[in-house]
Amino acid sequence: MDDNQIRDAIDRMVAEEHELRTLHLRGPIDAGHAQRLSQLADSLDQSWDLLRQRRARREFGLDPDDVGLRDTAIVGHYRQ
């Protein structure tokens, strides 16, 4: 997956997240929507981390394709 594909995936996830949060503004959301929001948050954390890893490797002359998604237990604890 290249940087553009990662950014496109992030854009799609952000759009879905906004839709679900808009539903929540209208009233309580069901357990399925709440679970999906949690999944999106984890996937977004992983995707942003992957993009940062790729950029860092490229900056130091390394192959950006030599990185992969890190576990959500790791990336979910990063400070924003």
User: Tens digit of pLDDT for each residue in 44-68?
Assistant: 999 999 999 999 999 999 999 999 9
Range of the domain at 36: 3-75
- HEC string of the chain equals CCHHHHHHHHHHHHHHHHHHHHHHHHCCCCHHHHHHHHHHHHHHHHHHHHHHHHHHHHHCCCCHHHCCCCCHHHHCCCCC
pLDDT level of residue 15 (50, 70, 90 thresholds): very high
Number of domains in the chain: 1
Q: What is the pTM of this model?
A: 0.88
**Residue 79, pLDDT score:** 63
